[in-house]
Chains A and B, each alone.
Chain A
Amino acid sequence: MRKVGIVGIGQSRFGIRSDASLRELSFEAAKASLDDAGIPLDDVQAMVVSVASDELSYALQPSAQVVDYLGFNPKPSFRVEGACASGSMAVRTGWMTVASGLADLVIVVGAEKMTEVSTAAVTDVLGRAGDFMWEYPFGMTFPGYYALIARAHMAKYGTTEEQLSMVAVKNHHYGALNPYAHMRKEISLDKAMSSFTVADPLKLYDCCLISDGAAAIVLASDKLAGSLSKKPVWISGLGLGTDTISLSDRRDITTLDATVEAARQAYDMAGIGPKDIDVAVVHDCFTIAEIAAYEDLGFCAKGEGGKLIEEKRTYIGGDIPVNVDGGLKSKGHPIGATGVAMAAEIAKQLRGEADPGRQVENARIGLSHNVGGNGQHAAVHVFQVD
């Protein structure tokens, strides 16, 4: 298989985008990624689209809206889906399309419009990413599932509510420096700790935002990547893991085995280990998810994730800077866009082009970690520059 490099990155502003539709958000991101690559869409041979939810878009094949609005017809396009990991599924599919030789130049577009429907409806739809047949009848929501993970993690490892809030404080600190972020403001530990309870023990500031937004990347084969970009960002490792639909059935409720499996595959393929990572974006849909990700990706031992954030070792200057773009928590989480935005952020970091105050100096190896549902899917990608 051929090497595949990222040669263009783009993103729309994330937030409550009452000024734009799904297709218009996609256009913003796609245009930015093509401008960055310095090529017209005419040169691109295939498009992979990630829109996670038909229910939020009130439409089957929402990807067709995107393809047509960009004027891509009649070239090949396909949509992939894995709830909140849809974007990484699309990156993986784009990589496969180029690595296999099916196309030399592919654009991957991820988008979601989440604020057209009520918060209660979004809560309902997202909760049904879990076990719709056996757990939904108990009023399970996304925060509810992660609350069950948090409560078990706290009991088993002594993780505290303060440590959960510290994740939010860090991610808001960096999100404030990111012009594309949904909520660009610092928060205090007191504010996070005193916010209202969404699903005990998770409070408002433990939960990611409901956002609209889009992201896009342009992928090229090794030869083309070298001629299009001064600094192509190579995708050197890919991993994809799966786990039970019911949270109740997990081997260990405090561990996302899908993440452990995806990380193992990605590290093996890239020939590296967690200690080699210079910068990471992990799936912090809830603060407990970031703490579990530290452990399940091997950034620290199992059970020590709370300590890792308390000692600020995931800030820039620490052992491993994590979510210095604000994460899902502050940057926002338009579910179909997230995995693509993660790839774009790591590419930006490895090119040394992140905003002042949130660039990890001399970063050469980056990692993205993207979870679908409450761990039914997890994708881990490793990125490198020469």
Chain B
Amino acid sequence: MEFRDFSLLVKDTKVSEFAEGLERGVILATKCEKCGSIYYPPRHDCPKCFSDEMSWIELHGSGKLLSFTVIFVPPEHFAPDLSETAPFSGYRYAPKPVGIVEMGNGARVMGWIPGIPREELQIGMSLTPKAEVLPNGRATIVLAPEGE
């Protein structure tokens, strides 16, 4: 899997292994070998100590929902005539919620929330980030209810 299969627009990066991780079903972050800082989204370079010696770690477990929205007016890339690129949506654009969770190690993870109706979402609820490969071959992150 190429990085653009996740990012849609960006092709080249030193952290393209992130997309390969999604394909394997894991969400990868990086850890600075020098100062121990953990970065999600992963960074190849540490702005805290300016080291470029990083190692890959996997993110596990659940986090607390910090905020969420449902975007009804999509960007061009996700607009109805390009609906194959709109994850979890059918031919007619039926948007799903997106949100941000905060993990125990402080990492903030953005993801789609296809499994919970908007009315049932509560800030502070526990959700688990999961890697997901979509039917169109692209990969993304889903915030799943606990126990799924």
Contacts and interface: CB of A to CB of B under 8 A. Distances in A.
Interface of A: 118-121, 123-124, 127-128, 132-141, 143-144, 147-149, 151-152, 155, 196-202, 246-249, 253
Contact of A198 (B72, B87, B97, B123): B72
Closest 10 CB pairs of A and B: A147-B69, A124-B76, A248-B108, A124-B75, A152-B67, A155-B123, A134-B41, A120-B76, A148-B67, A200-B70
12 contacts: A120-B74, A120-B76, A128-B9, A133-B13, A139-B71, A140-B75, A143-B71, A151-B67, A151-B69, A196-B72, A202-B69, A253-B100
Nearest to A202: B69
Given A141-B73, A143-B71, A155-B123, 9 more contacts: A132-B9, A134-B41, A135-B110, A136-B77, A137-B140, A140-B98, A148-B99, A198-B72, A200-B69
Interface residues of B, number: 38
Contacts of B69: 144, 147-148, 151, 199-202
Interface string B62-82: 000011111111111111000
Contacts of B72: 196-200
Interface string B37-64: 0000100000000000000000000000
B95 A123 contact: no
A248 B99 CA distance: 9
Q: By DSSP majority rule, is chain B's interface helix, strand, loop, or mixed?
A: mixed
Contacts of B6: 137
A126 to B, nearest CB: 9
B108 A144 contact: no
B109 interface: yes
A90 to B, nearest CB: 27
A143 B75 CA distance: 10
A198 B74 CA distance: 9
Nearest to B3: A133
A151 B71 contact: no
Contacts of A149: 67
B73 A198 contact: yes
A141 B112 contact: no
Contacts of B71: 139-141, 143-144, 147, 198-200
A155 B123 CA distance: 7
Contacts of A202: 69
Given A137-B7, A151-B68, A123 B73 contact: yes
Contact of A144 (B98, B111, B112): B98
A89 to B, nearest CB: 23
Contacts of A120: 74-76, 79
Nearest to A254: B67
B111 A248 contact: no
Contact of A253 (B67, B73, B95): B67
Given A136-B7, A136-B8, A246-B41, A143 B78 contact: no
Contact of A138 (B67, B73, B79, B112): B112
Given A139-B98, A200-B69, A249 B78 contact: no
Contacts of B66: 152, 253
A246 B78 CA distance: 20
Interface in B1-50: 6-10, 13, 41
B110 A138 contact: yes
